[in-house]
Amino acid sequence: MSGSALVHVSDVCKRYRSQEVLTGVSFQVARGECVVLCGPSGSGKSTLLRCINGLEDWNSGEVTVDGVDIAANAHRRGHIGQLVGMVFQDFNLFPHLTVLDNVALGPRVLLKEPSTKASAIGHELLERVGLSGHTHKYPYELSGGQQQRVAIARALAMRPKVMLFDEPTSALDPEMVKEVLDVMRELAASGMTMICVTHEMGFARNVADRVVFLTDGCVCETGQPGDFFSCPTTPQAVKFLSHVLAR
């Protein structure tokens, strides 16, 4: 199992001054697996995700993706960008570039593709997320859901081995959540390795291969979604699910 895993997180600890954010997190994600990270607010989900692509540094422990030590390569952004793609809660599209340029920027600048090839990659990915008619618009001309789909296309353009989603639907109006989740579902079905921090329990139940439940900076419980939602074993998970599912 551990030999075929794509993402290894072993015993990662992180402190902000005296605040312990991660207290020895360990888990693995296999190739093609879709893992949902959930847990109460402040449990360190987003921080853990940001450690996996080196946006945050940590105090002890090790993270490897496809055999590459992230801590040792944190300064080689271009290298990590081709391993790990990330989608943010606030989309963070580049407002001065068109939708197409947002997507084609990575291939053109970092993968050194010729401009026409980069545009072709952009067109293809935008079509895949259902936005082929919006290529020459600027991000502000799009709805939140459309912007988030562009952000997914932008991350995919670097052909990463694993995609990280940091609460991708939390900043969206309710009627736009579905279009983003549909894209993510399609992505999971296509075999992409995904780690998602989300409060969409329906997505976790239906799409995820595994749920990793974090509390107080460490993995509290992990299991198949069916087992996790129907019979959680730890009291923390029971409490969390009673809050979340009561909505």
Q: What is the 3-state secondary structure (H, E, C) of the chain?
A: CCCCEEEEEEEEEEEECCEEEEEEEEEEEECCCEEEEECCCCCCHHHHHHHHCCCCCCCEEEEEECCEECCCCCCCHHHHHCCEEEECCCCCCCCCCCHHHHHHHHHHHHCCCCHHHHHHHHHHHHHHCCCHHHCCCCHHHCCHHHHHHHHHHHHHCCCCCEEEEECCCCCCCHHHHHHHHHHHHHHHHCCCEEEEECCCHHHHHHCCCEEEEEECCEEEEEECHHHHHHCCCCHHHHHHHHHHHCC
Q: Does 95 bind another protein (CB under 8 A)?
A: yes
Residue 137 · residue 150 · CB < 8 Å: no
* Burial of residue 245, with CB atoms counted within 10 A of its CB: 0-12 exposed, 13-18 middle, 19 or more buried: exposed
Residue 211 · residue 228 · CB < 8 Å: yes
Nearer Cβ to another protein (9/151): 151
Stretch of 1-9, 91-99, 179-187, 194-202 lying at the interface with another protein (CB under 8 A): 91-99
Q: Does 173 bind another protein (CB under 8 A)?
A: no
Residue 129 identity: V
Residue 184 CB, nearest approach to another protein (Å): 17
Binding footprint of another protein, residue count (CB under 8 A): 35
Q: Does 96 bind another protein (CB under 8 A)?
A: yes
Footprint (CB under 8 A) of another protein, residues 38-77: 53, 55, 77
Q: Does 105 bind another protein (CB under 8 A)?
A: yes
Residue 192 identity: M
Nearer Cβ to another protein (28/98): 98
Residue 118 CB, nearest approach to another protein (Å): 11
Q: Which of 64, 98, 146, 193 forms a contact with another protein (CB under 8 A)?
A: 98
Residue 224 CB, nearest approach to another protein (Å): 30
Q: Does 94 bind another protein (CB under 8 A)?
A: yes
Footprint (CB under 8 A) of another protein, residues 130-159: 135-136, 138, 140, 151, 154-155, 158
Residue 169 CB, nearest approach to another protein (Å): 17
Q: Does 106 bind another protein (CB under 8 A)?
A: yes
Stretch of 16-24, 27-35, 100-108, 173-181 lying at the interface with another protein (CB under 8 A): 100-108
Which positions lie near another protein, rule CB under 8 A?
Answer: 53, 55, 77-82, 84-86, 88, 90, 92-96, 98, 100-101, 105-106, 109-110, 115, 119, 135-136, 138, 140, 151, 154-155, 158
